[in-house]
Amino acid sequence: MLLKLEVVLRGLPNQDLIISDSADFILNSRIGRKAQLSKINGYSLFISDLIANIHYMALSCNYSEFTDHGLPHLCSLVDRISNWTLKNNALHLVDVLLSEEECAILLLAILVHDIGMLSQKPEDLDDNYPISISKSQMDVPTWVRKTHIPRIEKLTKRIFKDSQIYEELLNSEFFSTSVNIAKVHGFWPWQTEFSRLKNRHQGLAAILAVSDLLDEDSTRCDIATLIHHKKGNMLNIAHWIRHSLTKNRILIKRGVVYIELITLPKTDEKFKIVFDALENHFKLLYFYRESLENIKISSLRLNFKAFTDNNDNLNEWWKIPGLNNQNALIHHLLSSFFSLSLLDGKRESKENLNKAAKLQLKNIDLSKYRKISGEVEVLSSYEQVFNAIIN
């Protein structure tokens, strides 16, 4: 008996499903639902359209060197903030400490804080921005990273320049407040850009900054795929590998930040310096304690779980060009941290180091990694290319 097979024709996968899934997740989160109760005209529709634009920009414009700055990253921040519970009563901060309008302000700030990483137009810089930061003086990804914050406002407005229905919203105090909160995720609380915000707005900015700092885990990017299939310089690769050292998605429960670290195969006690730097990195969230207290969030506490497992996604990390030994790996990983995480006196002011000293950060001895010689020498990318030609 012959079997008759019926072929069902199917259309191409629908990109709009990704947008609708993300919009549904964001708008139905705790912060999203409360934000929609605000009295900001056209808010829900504006957020939905913004989410769609972010997705298409990420598809078309995101540089291969970068980790994710599109919808997965934004959903992660929304989720972390929505599920953040308080020390004393385990209630969600969104439910009990933020007003409806503050939720609306914060949600928009979350969505636009990295939008500049998805675009490369110099016209989005203000006319008075320093001429020295010109696109011709550095590679484009570096320029994008350095200017992504000052381009937030004009870029977001440019996206909607043909949508008259949002004209009132884009020119409102609400919008400028959200943008200002988004911008200061790149500044420390004592810097003018941050400290000139109103007290409760400083608290909102601190929530965003802390949640962004904690989005460090291995789910942020597919490490193996990035390293094997994407182009990136040593700094980019170091960032990718650094993400793989944090095993879990970091959530804040009852005021405690739970972090589980994971190590790499074929590393020994020397590699501890990287974990010390990583712990210092997370401790920088303590800088935001006073700002968080403006909205009655009491001090956070970090809880590190011992790193006993190996990351099998990087079980042959030494085959990555430029990382053929542990010293080279450590050198490049250390280069990926904030200078404050390393207590690096050559790159940080005394004032900032004095502030960091109050956090009781671990001492990081950089001397052996500033000048590596002999068989463990770390070559620059230019030296590596030159050696490949002559050998």
- DSSP states of 127-159: TTS-TTS-GGGS-HHHHHHHHTTTTHHHHHHHH
Domain boundary among 177, 212, 247: 212
pLDDT higher than 50, residue 387: no
Location of structure tokens 């990253």: 73
Residue 3 backbone class (left: φ over 0; alpha: ψ -120 to 50; beta: rest):
beta
pLDDT tens track for 175-225:
999 999 999 999 999 999 999 999 999 999 999 999 999 998 766 666 666
Structure tokens of 127?
Answer: 């006319």
Looking at the domain assignment, is residue 164 inside a domain? Answer: yes
Q: Are residues 223 and 340 in the same domain?
A: yes
Q: Are residues 179 and 256 in the same domain?
A: no
Rg (CA), the chain: 22
pLDDT higher than 90, residue 299: no
Q: Which residues of 348-372 are buried (b: 16+ CB within 10 A; e: fewer)?
A: beeebeebbeeeebbebebeebeeb
CA distance 158 to 164: 12
Residue 360 backbone class (left: φ over 0; alpha: ψ -120 to 50; beta: rest):
left
Q: How confident is the model at residue 376 (pLDDT cuts 50, 70, 90)?
A: very low
pLDDT tens track for 48-85:
999 999 998 888 765 655 666 778 889 999 999 999 99
Q: Are residues 324 and 239 in the same domain?
A: yes
Q: What is the mean pLDDT of the chain?
A: 85
pLDDT tens track for 314-351:
888 888 888 889 999 999 999 989 999 999 988 899 99
Which of 11-20, 90-99, 253-262, 270-279 shows the lowest mean pLDDT across its residues? 11-20
Domain boundary among 197, 212, 227: 212
Looking at the domain assignment, is residue 287 inside a domain? Answer: yes
Q: Are residues 161 and 222 in the same domain?
A: no
- pLDDT value, residue 233: 77
Domain range for 264:
214-381
**Residue among 358, 347, 343, 214 nearest 273 (CA):** 343
Q: Are residues 241 and 366 in the same domain?
A: yes
- Residue 62 in contact with residue 114, Cβ under 8 Å? no
